[in-house]
Amino acid sequence: MSKSSPKLQWIKVRLGEDYNWWVTETSDPIHWDVDGLGVIDPRQASHLTDSLDALREYGFDPEVFENAFYPFRINAKAEDNTVELRRVHESFLELEESLFLLPDVLDEEKGPYADFLDQITRCRVKLLNDLIDLQEKLEVDEIEETIREDQNKDYIEGKATHFYNEIMAILDFVPAGYELEEDDADEEEDEEEDIDIDIPDIEEEESIEEDETMKWDEDDDFEENDKEDDEEKTEEGEAPRRGRPRKED
């Protein structure tokens, strides 16, 4: 499917427990299998763009990056807590707004996303060989083998490898026993960077104003039970609890 194809116009995504966004539905279910299909959020996309800039002097072509992804912007939040994203047909590298990026994985072996991974891997190898004094030059196969091993571990554990994690595993790769100072600096900058993802709210039903007759007696019962528990624990030699316990998230 070419980037100009009208079939993929929207996707619905949800925020997973791993704090990554995952696709739940697409406008083109015939060509797109949503099982384990992740989407890169604006914060992650910004980090990727910054990380890829360091590879330009080693031959990285930004056009390969743009060709490998379908950009989307937020359209609406649905009642089932999913978010609908609408396709953007402009160049996402030229737009100032932050967008979601869906990798073009229709052809996992020879498609645009596969080409993107291949290029950043080769560029990362050149960077490492240039900045680190290795006894033997690093080869592309070494990075690819490490990445495959990590992905196989996730597969055995029943986890889907998110695209963002797959890409960053390449961009952050350093041979065992070595480190790059610039990578440490990048991590500090990422901790300070914060991009808000503005998700529109759905219309909610009008709330009913509470009056005194609508208040429950839970608080009174809870406090009474707390006092009884504290007295029992004091008799057993334990310090009484102070205040109400905080509900765990």
Whether 44 maps to a domain, the answer reads: yes
The neighbour count for residue 167, using CB atoms within 10 Å, is 23
> What's the structural domain count of the chain?
1
Amino acid letter at 83? V
Backbone dihedral angles phi then psi of residue 126, each to the nearest 5 degrees = -65, -40
pLDDT tens digits for range 191-242 = 445 556 666 554 443 433 444 444 444 455 545 555 555 555 444 444 433 3
- Point out the least confidently predicted range of 34-38, 178-182, 195-199: 195-199
Whether 130 maps to a domain, the answer reads: yes
Whether 111 maps to a domain, the answer reads: yes
pLDDT tens digits for range 94-107 = 988 989 999 999 88
Q: What is the DSSP letter of 16?
A: -
Whether 88 maps to a domain, the answer reads: yes
Domain of 170? Answer: 10-192
Whether 221 maps to a domain, the answer reads: no
- Point out the least confidently predicted range of 35-39, 82-86, 169-173, 211-215: 211-215
41 SS3 class: coil
Whether 25 maps to a domain, the answer reads: yes
Q: Give the pLDDT confidence score for residue 226 in this predicted structure.
A: 52
CB 91 within 8 A of CB 142: no
Whether 137 maps to a domain, the answer reads: yes
- The pTM of the whole model exceeds 0.75: no
Whole-number Å distance between alpha carbons of 31 and 61? 28
What percent of the chain lies above the pLDDT cut of 70? 70
Confidence of residue 157 (pLDDT cuts 50, 70, 90): confident
- 36 torsion bin: left (phi>0), alpha (psi -120 to 50), beta (else): left
Residues 6+ apart with CB under 8 A from 216: none
Neighbour-count burial of 235, counting CB atoms closer than 10 A to its CB (0-12 exposed, 13-18 middle, 19+ buried): exposed
Q: Where are the beta strands (DSSP E) in the chain?
A: 10-15, 21-26, 38-39, 69-77, 83-87, 100-103
Q: Which two tokens stand for residue 58?
A: 């080693």
Whether 108 maps to a domain, the answer reads: yes
